[in-house]
Amino acid sequence: MARGKMMVAREDIVVVVGAEPPTYGEVELVHNKTGEKVTRTETTIVLDEGKPGVSYAFKAFQKVPSSHPAVKDCPGGFMPLDDVDEMVAAANGLS
């Protein structure tokens, strides 16, 4: 795999790919003080369970291919490997 295609995790991170939250039903109530009808989400009425997704855990600076689903789902959690090399060179006064 080419070096330009590799990414590294910015920090310890867990990315859950493909997860979907559950969908809850709504109920209409009459507000006690105003008498207006209001709609409220009721968490005891589950319309759709959602999906748990797949969890991926990465250590700080762990190498990951740029095609990995976690990189595509959370691009801010990763940076190109070449940027790390430049940061290390700058820190060591080699730039």
Q: Tell me, what DSSP letter sits at residue 52?
A: -
Amino acid 2: pLDDT: 47
Amino acid 1: pLDDT: 43
CA pair distance 75, 64, nearest whole angstrom? 12
CA pair distance 63, 45, nearest whole angstrom? 43
Q: What is the pLDDT along the chain (95 residues), one digit of tens a residue?
A: 444 589 999 999 999 999 999 999 999 999 899 999 999 999 888 999 999 999 999 999 999 999 999 999 999 999 998 888 777 666 666 55
Amino acid 83: pLDDT: 84
Cβ proximity of 9 and 71 under 8 Å: no
- Report the predicted TM-score, pTM, of the whole model to 2 decimal places: 0.64
Residue showing tokens 């968490």? 43
